[in-house]
Protein backbone atom coordinates (compact mmCIF):
# COMPACT_ATOMS: atom_id res chain seq x y z
CA UNK A 1 0.00 0.00 0.00
CA UNK A 2 1.31 3.45 -0.94
CA UNK A 3 0.88 6.42 1.37
CA UNK A 4 0.62 10.13 0.74
CA UNK A 5 -0.16 13.18 2.90
CA UNK A 6 -2.37 15.95 1.54
CA UNK A 7 -1.19 19.55 1.88
CA UNK A 8 -3.13 22.67 2.88
CA UNK A 9 -5.82 23.83 0.45
CA UNK A 10 -4.57 26.25 -2.19
CA UNK A 11 -8.04 27.70 -2.63
CA UNK A 12 -8.29 28.37 1.11
CA UNK A 13 -4.73 29.76 1.45
CA UNK A 14 -5.17 32.39 -1.27
CA UNK A 15 -8.30 34.14 0.10
CA UNK A 16 -7.01 33.79 3.68
CA UNK A 17 -3.73 35.45 2.71
CA UNK A 18 -5.72 38.24 1.00
CA UNK A 19 -7.89 38.56 4.12
CA UNK A 20 -4.78 39.18 6.23
CA UNK A 21 -4.88 42.67 4.65
CA UNK A 22 -7.84 43.35 6.95
CA UNK A 23 -6.03 42.57 10.20
CA UNK A 24 -4.74 45.22 12.49
CA UNK A 25 -1.80 43.08 13.59
CA UNK A 26 0.46 40.23 12.60
CA UNK A 27 -1.14 37.04 11.29
CA UNK A 28 0.44 33.57 11.35
CA UNK A 29 -0.80 30.72 9.17
CA UNK A 30 0.22 27.06 8.98
CA UNK A 31 -0.22 24.39 6.28
CA UNK A 32 0.67 26.90 3.56
CA UNK A 33 2.15 24.79 0.75
CA UNK A 34 5.01 25.95 -1.42
CA UNK A 35 3.06 26.64 -4.62
CA UNK A 36 3.52 29.11 -7.46
CA UNK A 37 0.10 30.63 -6.72
CA UNK A 38 1.01 31.13 -3.05
CA UNK A 39 4.25 32.82 -4.15
CA UNK A 40 2.29 35.08 -6.50
CA UNK A 41 -0.10 36.08 -3.70
CA UNK A 42 2.90 36.72 -1.38
CA UNK A 43 4.47 38.94 -4.04
CA UNK A 44 1.23 40.86 -4.50
CA UNK A 45 0.80 41.42 -0.74
CA UNK A 46 4.42 42.58 -0.58
CA UNK A 47 3.77 45.07 -3.42
CA UNK A 48 0.81 46.42 -1.44
CA UNK A 49 3.14 47.04 1.52
CA UNK A 50 2.65 43.93 3.65
CA UNK A 51 5.57 42.20 5.35
CA UNK A 52 5.56 38.59 4.22
CA UNK A 53 7.69 35.78 5.56
CA UNK A 54 7.02 32.31 4.17
CA UNK A 55 9.02 29.50 5.75
CA UNK A 56 8.69 26.92 2.99
CA UNK A 57 9.99 23.91 4.90
CA UNK A 58 7.62 24.25 7.83
CA UNK A 59 4.83 25.54 5.55
CA UNK A 60 4.22 28.54 7.80
CA UNK A 61 3.67 32.12 6.76
CA UNK A 62 3.69 35.36 8.74
CA UNK A 63 1.92 38.41 7.33
CA UNK A 64 1.80 41.94 8.65
CA UNK A 65 -0.35 44.37 6.68
CA UNK A 66 -0.55 47.23 9.16
CA UNK A 67 1.35 49.62 6.92
CA UNK A 68 -0.01 49.35 3.39
CA UNK A 69 1.61 51.62 0.81
CA UNK A 70 -0.65 51.32 -2.24
CA UNK A 71 -4.11 50.19 -3.31
CA UNK A 72 -2.94 49.15 -6.80
CA UNK A 73 -2.66 45.48 -7.78
CA UNK A 74 -0.54 45.69 -10.94
CA UNK A 75 -0.61 43.70 -14.17
CA UNK A 76 2.17 41.21 -13.28
CA UNK A 77 0.62 39.22 -10.43
CA UNK A 78 -2.97 39.60 -11.68
CA UNK A 79 -2.04 38.26 -15.10
CA UNK A 80 -0.27 35.30 -13.49
CA UNK A 81 -3.16 34.45 -11.21
CA UNK A 82 -6.80 35.52 -11.37
CA UNK A 83 -7.21 34.94 -7.64
CA UNK A 84 -5.21 38.19 -7.23
CA UNK A 85 -8.60 39.85 -7.64
CA UNK A 86 -9.37 38.66 -4.10
CA UNK A 87 -7.48 41.65 -2.70
CA UNK A 88 -10.24 43.97 -3.97
CA UNK A 89 -12.64 43.48 -1.03
CA UNK A 90 -9.94 43.83 1.65
CA UNK A 91 -8.35 46.89 -0.02
CA UNK A 92 -11.72 48.62 -0.26
CA UNK A 93 -12.41 47.91 3.40
CA UNK A 94 -8.95 49.06 4.51
CA UNK A 95 -8.19 51.94 2.13
CA UNK A 96 -11.54 52.90 0.60
CA UNK A 97 -10.12 52.23 -2.83
CA UNK A 98 -8.77 49.41 -4.98
CA UNK A 99 -7.18 49.66 -8.39
CA UNK A 100 -6.81 46.21 -9.92
CA UNK A 101 -5.40 45.23 -13.29
CA UNK A 102 -8.28 43.70 -15.30
CA UNK A 103 -8.04 39.89 -14.91
CA UNK A 104 -9.24 39.24 -18.47
CA UNK A 105 -10.02 35.76 -19.76
CA UNK A 106 -8.06 32.59 -19.10
CA UNK A 107 -7.40 29.10 -20.40
CA UNK A 108 -10.63 27.68 -19.00
CA UNK A 109 -13.01 30.22 -20.49
CA UNK A 110 -14.18 33.74 -19.91
CA UNK A 111 -14.27 34.36 -16.18
CA UNK A 112 -16.15 37.55 -15.55
CA UNK A 113 -16.07 39.59 -12.34
CA UNK A 114 -19.54 41.10 -12.65
CA UNK A 115 -20.82 39.37 -9.50
CA UNK A 116 -17.89 40.60 -7.40
CA UNK A 117 -18.55 44.16 -8.55
CA UNK A 118 -22.34 43.94 -8.19
CA UNK A 119 -21.95 42.93 -4.56
CA UNK A 120 -19.46 45.69 -3.78
CA UNK A 121 -21.68 48.27 -5.51
CA UNK A 122 -24.63 47.16 -3.34
CA UNK A 123 -22.42 48.00 -0.35
CA UNK A 124 -21.84 51.55 -1.59
CA UNK A 125 -18.86 51.21 -3.92
CA UNK A 126 -18.64 52.62 -7.44
CA UNK A 127 -16.26 51.56 -10.17
CA UNK A 128 -14.78 52.64 -13.49
CA UNK A 129 -12.87 50.64 -16.05
CA UNK A 130 -10.20 51.92 -18.42
CA UNK A 131 -6.51 51.60 -19.33
CA UNK A 132 -6.65 47.90 -18.41
CA UNK A 133 -7.53 48.64 -14.79
CA UNK A 134 -10.67 48.51 -12.68
CA UNK A 135 -10.93 51.32 -10.16
CA UNK A 136 -13.27 50.62 -7.26
CA UNK A 137 -13.95 53.38 -4.76
CA UNK A 138 -15.94 53.28 -1.53
CA UNK A 139 -15.34 56.04 1.01
CA UNK A 140 -17.66 54.05 3.27
CA UNK A 141 -18.95 50.47 3.01
CA UNK A 142 -22.45 49.73 4.25
CA UNK A 143 -24.02 46.37 4.98
CA UNK A 144 -26.45 45.26 2.23
CA UNK A 145 -28.70 42.43 1.10
CA UNK A 146 -26.95 40.75 -1.82
CA UNK A 147 -28.31 37.98 -3.99
CA UNK A 148 -25.70 36.29 -6.20
CA UNK A 149 -27.10 35.17 -9.57
CA UNK A 150 -24.61 32.31 -9.39
CA UNK A 151 -22.83 30.97 -6.27
CA UNK A 152 -19.41 32.24 -7.36
CA UNK A 153 -16.63 31.28 -4.95
CA UNK A 154 -14.52 34.38 -5.59
CA UNK A 155 -17.46 36.81 -5.50
CA UNK A 156 -18.70 35.33 -2.20
CA UNK A 157 -15.19 35.70 -0.74
CA UNK A 158 -14.62 39.27 -1.95
CA UNK A 159 -18.01 40.39 -0.64
CA UNK A 160 -17.48 38.56 2.66
CA UNK A 161 -14.11 40.24 3.17
CA UNK A 162 -15.55 43.69 2.40
CA UNK A 163 -18.53 43.05 4.68
CA UNK A 164 -16.63 42.21 7.86
CA UNK A 165 -15.54 45.86 8.28
CA UNK A 166 -18.67 47.46 6.75
CA UNK A 167 -21.11 49.30 8.94
CA UNK A 168 -24.24 47.22 9.56
CA UNK A 169 -25.33 43.77 8.47
CA UNK A 170 -24.70 42.09 5.10
CA UNK A 171 -26.70 39.09 3.89
CA UNK A 172 -25.22 37.10 0.99
CA UNK A 173 -27.87 34.87 -0.55
CA UNK A 174 -27.07 32.09 -3.00
CA UNK A 175 -23.54 32.28 -1.59
CA UNK A 176 -20.92 29.68 -2.54
CA UNK A 177 -20.94 26.89 0.08
CA UNK A 178 -17.44 25.56 -0.67
CA UNK A 179 -15.40 24.44 2.38
CA UNK A 180 -12.78 27.04 1.39
CA UNK A 181 -15.36 29.83 1.89
CA UNK A 182 -16.14 28.38 5.32
CA UNK A 183 -12.41 28.25 6.11
CA UNK A 184 -12.00 31.92 5.15
CA UNK A 185 -14.94 32.76 7.43
CA UNK A 186 -13.41 30.74 10.30
CA UNK A 187 -10.15 32.60 9.85
CA UNK A 188 -11.90 35.99 9.86
CA UNK A 189 -13.90 34.94 12.92
CA UNK A 190 -10.63 34.08 14.68
CA UNK A 191 -9.63 37.73 14.12
CA UNK A 192 -12.87 39.05 15.65
CA UNK A 193 -15.26 39.13 12.66
CA UNK A 194 -18.94 38.23 13.17
CA UNK A 195 -20.07 35.78 10.50
CA UNK A 196 -22.93 33.26 10.51
CA UNK A 197 -23.81 30.58 7.99
CA UNK A 198 -20.55 30.33 6.02
CA UNK A 199 -20.50 26.94 4.31
CA UNK A 200 -24.22 27.32 3.50
CA UNK A 201 -26.00 29.36 0.83
CA UNK A 202 -26.90 32.18 3.23
CA UNK A 203 -24.09 34.07 4.92
CA UNK A 204 -24.84 36.85 7.38
CA UNK A 205 -22.08 39.24 8.40
CA UNK A 206 -22.35 41.83 11.14
CA UNK A 207 -19.75 44.49 10.50
CA UNK A 208 -17.18 45.26 13.22
CA UNK A 209 -14.90 48.30 13.50
CA UNK A 210 -11.59 46.43 13.30
CA UNK A 211 -9.98 42.99 13.25
CA UNK A 212 -7.08 42.03 15.45
CA UNK A 213 -4.06 39.94 14.47
CA UNK A 214 -3.35 36.29 15.24
CA UNK A 215 0.34 36.05 15.94
CA UNK A 216 2.80 33.15 16.14
CA UNK A 217 1.37 31.92 19.44
CA UNK A 218 -1.98 31.29 17.74
CA UNK A 219 -1.37 30.36 14.08
CA UNK A 220 -4.41 29.59 11.93
CA UNK A 221 -4.32 26.14 10.35
CA UNK A 222 -5.65 25.97 6.78
CA UNK A 223 -7.91 23.02 5.85
CA UNK A 224 -6.53 20.12 3.76
CA UNK A 225 -6.84 20.40 -0.02
CA UNK A 226 -9.83 18.33 -1.13
CA UNK A 227 -8.84 18.74 -4.78
CA UNK A 228 -5.36 17.40 -4.14
CA UNK A 229 -6.93 14.53 -2.15
CA UNK A 230 -9.32 13.83 -5.04
CA UNK A 231 -6.40 13.86 -7.48
CA UNK A 232 -4.64 11.17 -5.42
CA UNK A 233 -7.87 9.20 -5.16
CA UNK A 234 -8.24 9.24 -8.93
CA UNK A 235 -4.53 8.32 -9.27
CA UNK A 236 -5.09 5.21 -7.17
CA UNK A 237 -8.13 4.27 -9.23
CA UNK A 238 -6.50 4.85 -12.63
CA UNK A 239 -3.46 2.72 -11.76
CA UNK A 240 -5.42 -0.07 -10.06
CA UNK A 241 -3.49 0.75 -6.90
CA UNK A 242 -3.94 0.73 -3.14
CA UNK A 243 -3.30 4.14 -1.61
CA UNK A 244 -3.70 5.59 1.88
CA UNK A 245 -4.39 9.31 1.64
CA UNK A 246 -3.74 11.12 4.92
CA UNK A 247 -4.81 14.55 6.14
CA UNK A 248 -8.23 14.76 4.52
CA UNK A 249 -11.64 15.84 5.75
CA UNK A 250 -13.76 12.98 4.38
CA UNK A 251 -17.01 14.99 4.48
CA UNK A 252 -15.49 17.43 1.94
CA UNK A 253 -15.11 14.55 -0.51
CA UNK A 254 -18.61 13.03 -0.45
CA UNK A 255 -19.35 13.57 -4.16
CA UNK A 256 -15.89 12.34 -5.20
CA UNK A 257 -16.16 9.35 -2.94
CA UNK A 258 -19.56 8.41 -4.39
CA UNK A 259 -18.30 8.68 -7.99
CA UNK A 260 -15.24 6.57 -7.28
CA UNK A 261 -17.41 3.85 -5.77
CA UNK A 262 -19.63 4.03 -8.85
CA UNK A 263 -16.63 3.39 -11.10
CA UNK A 264 -15.89 0.32 -8.99
CA UNK A 265 -13.10 1.48 -6.64
CA UNK A 266 -13.25 0.72 -2.92
CA UNK A 267 -13.07 3.79 -0.71
CA UNK A 268 -12.69 3.32 3.01
CA UNK A 269 -12.48 5.99 5.71
CA UNK A 270 -9.57 5.24 8.02
CA UNK A 271 -9.92 7.02 11.36
CA UNK A 272 -11.12 10.61 11.10
CA UNK A 273 -8.55 12.00 8.72
CA UNK A 274 -7.57 9.40 6.13
CA UNK A 275 -9.02 7.55 3.17
CA UNK A 276 -7.85 4.34 1.59
CA UNK A 277 -8.61 3.82 -2.10
CA UNK A 278 -8.22 0.41 -3.71
CA UNK A 279 -8.98 -0.48 -7.28
CA UNK A 280 -8.63 -3.54 -9.46
CA UNK A 281 -9.41 -4.07 -13.11
CA UNK A 282 -10.96 -1.54 -15.46
CA UNK A 283 -13.28 1.15 -14.11
CA UNK A 284 -16.99 1.15 -14.98
CA UNK A 285 -18.38 3.88 -17.22
CA UNK A 286 -20.38 6.59 -15.40
CA UNK A 287 -22.21 9.86 -15.98
CA UNK A 288 -20.69 12.81 -14.19
CA UNK A 289 -21.79 16.45 -13.90
CA UNK A 290 -19.73 19.18 -12.30
CA UNK A 291 -21.55 21.53 -9.92
CA UNK A 292 -20.81 24.04 -7.21
CA UNK A 293 -20.18 22.39 -3.80
CA UNK A 294 -21.49 19.97 -2.55
CA UNK A 295 -21.65 18.78 -6.18
CA UNK A 296 -18.78 17.14 -8.01
CA UNK A 297 -15.92 19.70 -8.27
CA UNK A 298 -14.99 21.07 -11.68
CA UNK A 299 -11.37 21.06 -10.45
CA UNK A 300 -11.41 17.24 -10.56
CA UNK A 301 -13.11 16.92 -13.94
CA UNK A 302 -9.91 16.39 -16.01
CA UNK A 303 -8.52 13.82 -13.56
CA UNK A 304 -11.76 11.84 -13.73
CA UNK A 305 -11.82 12.15 -17.49
CA UNK A 306 -8.37 10.51 -17.58
CA UNK A 307 -9.79 7.70 -15.44
CA UNK A 308 -12.87 7.24 -17.63
CA UNK A 309 -10.83 6.93 -20.85
CA UNK A 310 -10.01 3.44 -19.51
CA UNK A 311 -13.56 2.50 -18.47
CA UNK A 312 -15.67 -0.36 -19.78
CA UNK A 313 -18.41 1.35 -21.77
CA UNK A 314 -19.28 4.95 -22.60
CA UNK A 315 -19.16 7.74 -20.01
CA UNK A 316 -20.53 11.26 -20.24
CA UNK A 317 -19.01 14.22 -18.40
CA UNK A 318 -21.00 17.44 -18.36
CA UNK A 319 -19.10 20.56 -17.32
CA UNK A 320 -21.62 23.06 -15.95
CA UNK A 321 -19.31 25.40 -13.99
CA UNK A 322 -16.91 26.65 -16.68
CA UNK A 323 -17.81 27.01 -20.31
CA UNK A 324 -14.44 26.03 -21.74
CA UNK A 325 -12.67 23.50 -19.61
CA UNK A 326 -11.73 20.76 -22.04
CA UNK A 327 -8.18 21.74 -23.05
CA UNK A 328 -6.92 18.34 -21.83
CA UNK A 329 -9.23 16.47 -24.23
CA UNK A 330 -7.07 16.95 -27.31
CA UNK A 331 -4.03 15.69 -25.43
CA UNK A 332 -5.88 12.65 -24.03
CA UNK A 333 -7.01 11.88 -27.58
CA UNK A 334 -3.38 11.99 -28.68
CA UNK A 335 -2.71 9.28 -26.09
CA UNK A 336 -5.42 7.14 -27.65
CA UNK A 337 -8.41 8.31 -25.61
CA UNK A 338 -11.73 8.15 -27.48
CA UNK A 339 -13.40 11.41 -26.55
CA UNK A 340 -15.93 13.54 -28.42
CA UNK A 341 -17.03 16.99 -27.32
CA UNK A 342 -20.65 18.03 -27.76
CA UNK A 343 -21.23 21.51 -26.38
CA UNK A 344 -20.48 21.31 -22.67
CA UNK A 345 -20.36 17.51 -22.63
CA UNK A 346 -17.55 15.07 -23.28
CA UNK A 347 -18.53 11.60 -24.45
CA UNK A 348 -15.84 9.10 -23.58
CA UNK A 349 -15.74 5.61 -25.01
CA UNK A 350 -13.44 3.66 -22.77
CA UNK A 351 -10.62 1.48 -24.06
CA UNK A 352 -8.24 -0.98 -22.53
CA UNK A 353 -5.13 1.16 -22.54
CA UNK A 354 -3.69 4.56 -23.40
CA UNK A 355 -0.36 4.97 -25.16
CA UNK A 356 2.34 7.29 -23.82
CA UNK A 357 3.44 10.19 -26.03
CA UNK A 358 4.42 13.87 -25.74
CA UNK A 359 1.55 16.00 -24.40
CA UNK A 360 1.19 19.57 -23.22
CA UNK A 361 -0.55 20.84 -20.09
CA UNK A 362 -2.51 24.02 -20.84
CA UNK A 363 -3.86 24.59 -17.34
CA UNK A 364 -3.38 23.38 -13.78
CA UNK A 365 -6.03 20.67 -13.38
CA UNK A 366 -5.87 19.60 -17.02
CA UNK A 367 -2.17 19.00 -16.41
CA UNK A 368 -2.95 16.85 -13.37
CA UNK A 369 -5.31 14.83 -15.58
CA UNK A 370 -2.46 14.24 -18.05
CA UNK A 371 -0.17 13.03 -15.25
CA UNK A 372 -2.78 10.47 -14.22
CA UNK A 373 -3.23 9.37 -17.83
CA UNK A 374 0.55 9.04 -18.11
CA UNK A 375 0.77 6.90 -14.96
CA UNK A 376 -1.74 4.47 -16.46
CA UNK A 377 -0.53 4.54 -20.08
CA UNK A 378 1.71 2.02 -21.77
CA UNK A 379 5.16 3.40 -22.53
CA UNK A 380 6.53 6.81 -21.65
CA UNK A 381 4.44 9.97 -21.44
CA UNK A 382 6.32 13.27 -21.63
CA UNK A 383 4.35 16.17 -20.21
CA UNK A 384 5.29 19.69 -21.25
CA UNK A 385 3.98 22.86 -19.60
CA UNK A 386 4.66 21.53 -16.11
CA UNK A 387 4.72 25.12 -14.79
CA UNK A 388 0.90 25.11 -14.90
CA UNK A 389 0.84 22.08 -12.61
CA UNK A 390 3.28 23.71 -10.17
CA UNK A 391 0.78 26.53 -9.62
CA UNK A 392 -1.37 24.22 -7.55
CA UNK A 393 0.53 21.06 -6.58
CA UNK A 394 3.62 21.06 -4.42
CA UNK A 395 6.21 18.34 -5.11
CA UNK A 396 3.55 16.29 -6.89
CA UNK A 397 6.05 14.18 -8.80
CA UNK A 398 8.06 13.18 -5.72
CA UNK A 399 4.92 12.39 -3.79
CA UNK A 400 3.42 10.27 -6.56
CA UNK A 401 6.74 8.44 -6.75
CA UNK A 402 6.66 7.58 -3.04
CA UNK A 403 3.10 6.39 -3.64
CA UNK A 404 4.42 3.94 -6.23
CA UNK A 405 4.30 5.88 -9.52
CA UNK A 406 7.19 5.74 -11.97
CA UNK A 407 7.55 9.40 -12.77
CA UNK A 408 10.48 11.76 -13.21
CA UNK A 409 10.88 15.46 -13.71
CA UNK A 410 13.24 17.27 -16.06
CA UNK A 411 13.64 21.04 -16.35
CA UNK A 412 10.97 22.57 -18.61
User: What's the closest the beta carbon of residue 115 comes to ligand UD1, in angstroms?
Assistant: 3
Nearest residue to ligand UD1 on Cβ basis: 154
Q: Identify the three-state secondary structure at position 149.
A: coil
User: What's the closest the beta carbon of residue 80 comes to ligand UD1, in angstroms?
Assistant: 13
106 is catalytic: yes
Q: Given its phi and psi angles, is residue 404 left (phi above 0), alpha (psi -120 to 50 degrees) or beta?
A: left
Of 153 and 244, which CB lies nearer to ligand UD1 in the complex structure? 153
Among the options 47, 68, 106, 341, which is catalytic?
106
Dihedral angle of Cα 323, 177, 143, 120, to the nearest 10 degrees: -20
- Contact window for ligand UD1 (CB under 6 A) among 109-117, 183-191, 326-334, 338-346: 109-117
Strand partners, 266: 278
Residue closest to 181 by CA, chosen among 147, 121, 226: 226
User: What's the closest the beta carbon of residue 56 comes to ligand UD1, in angstroms?
Assistant: 20
191 contacts 160 by C-beta, under 8 angstroms: no
- Distance separating alpha carbons of residues 265 and 262, to the nearest angstrom: 7
Of 26 and 299, which CB lies nearer to ligand UD1 in the complex structure? 299
- Determine which residue in the list 153, 166, 172, 376 makes contact with ligand UD1, applying CB under 6 A: 153
- Determine which residue in the list 152, 239, 257, 327 makes contact with ligand UD1, applying CB under 6 A: 152
- Contact window for ligand UD1 (CB under 6 A) among 67-75, 113-121, 253-261, 304-312: 113-121
Dihedral angle of Cα 146, 148, 151, 156, to the nearest 10 degrees: -40
96 contacts 53 by C-beta, under 8 angstroms: no
User: What's the closest the beta carbon of residue 19 comes to ligand UD1, in angstroms?
Assistant: 13
Of 104 and 112, which CB lies nearer to ligand UD1 in the complex structure? 112
Q: Given its phi and psi angles, is residue 109 left (phi above 0), alpha (psi -120 to 50 degrees) or beta?
A: left
288 binds ligand UD1 (CB under 6 A): no
Q: What is the DSSP string of 229-264?
A: HHHHHHHHHHTT-EEEEES--GGGGHHHHHHHHHTT
Of 323 and 382, which CB lies nearer to ligand UD1 in the complex structure? 323
Radius of gyration, alpha carbons of the chain: 21
Size of the site for ligand UD1 (CB under 6 A): 21
271 contacts 250 by C-beta, under 8 angstroms: no
User: What's the closest the beta carbon of residue 166 comes to ligand UD1, in angstroms?
Assistant: 19
User: What's the closest the beta carbon of residue 176 comes to ligand UD1, in angstroms?
Assistant: 6
Binding mask 158-187 for ligand UD1 (x = CB under 6 A): ------------------x---x-------
- Strands 51-55 and 345-349 come out as unpaired
Of 158 and 381, which CB lies nearer to ligand UD1 in the complex structure? 158
Q: Name which of residues 121 to 150 contact ligand UD1 (CB under 6 A).
A: 150
Of 108 and 311, which CB lies nearer to ligand UD1 in the complex structure? 108
Of 11 and 239, which CB lies nearer to ligand UD1 in the complex structure? 11
- Determine which residue in the list 112, 132, 216, 313 makes contact with ligand UD1, applying CB under 6 A: 112
User: What's the closest the beta carbon of residue 323 comes to ligand UD1, in angstroms?
Assistant: 6
Q: Name which of residues 58 to 87 contact ligand UD1 (CB under 6 A).
A: 82-83
Element of type H or E holding 205? strand 202-206
- Distance separating alpha carbons of residues 260 and 65, to the nearest angstrom: 43
Gap between the terminal Cα atoms of the chain? 31
- Determine which residue in the list 155, 339, 372, 400 makes contact with ligand UD1, applying CB under 6 A: 155
Residues 6+ apart with CB under 8 A from 304: 234, 259, 288, 317
> Catalytic residue positions?
106
Name the site residues for ligand UD1 (rule: CB under 6 A): 11, 14, 82-83, 111-116, 150, 152-155, 176, 180, 298-299, 321-322
Amino acid sequence: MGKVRVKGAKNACLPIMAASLLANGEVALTEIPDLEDVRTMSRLLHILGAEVNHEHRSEKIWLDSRRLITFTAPYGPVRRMRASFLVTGPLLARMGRARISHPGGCAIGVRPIDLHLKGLVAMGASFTMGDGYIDVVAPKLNGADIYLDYPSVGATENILMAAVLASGTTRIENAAAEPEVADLANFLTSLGAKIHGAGSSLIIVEGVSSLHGAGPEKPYRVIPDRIEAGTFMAAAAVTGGDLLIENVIPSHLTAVNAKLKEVGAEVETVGEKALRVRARGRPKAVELKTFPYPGFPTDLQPQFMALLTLARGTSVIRETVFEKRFSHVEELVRMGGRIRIEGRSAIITGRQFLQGTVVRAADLRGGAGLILAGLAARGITEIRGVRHIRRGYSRLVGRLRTAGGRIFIFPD
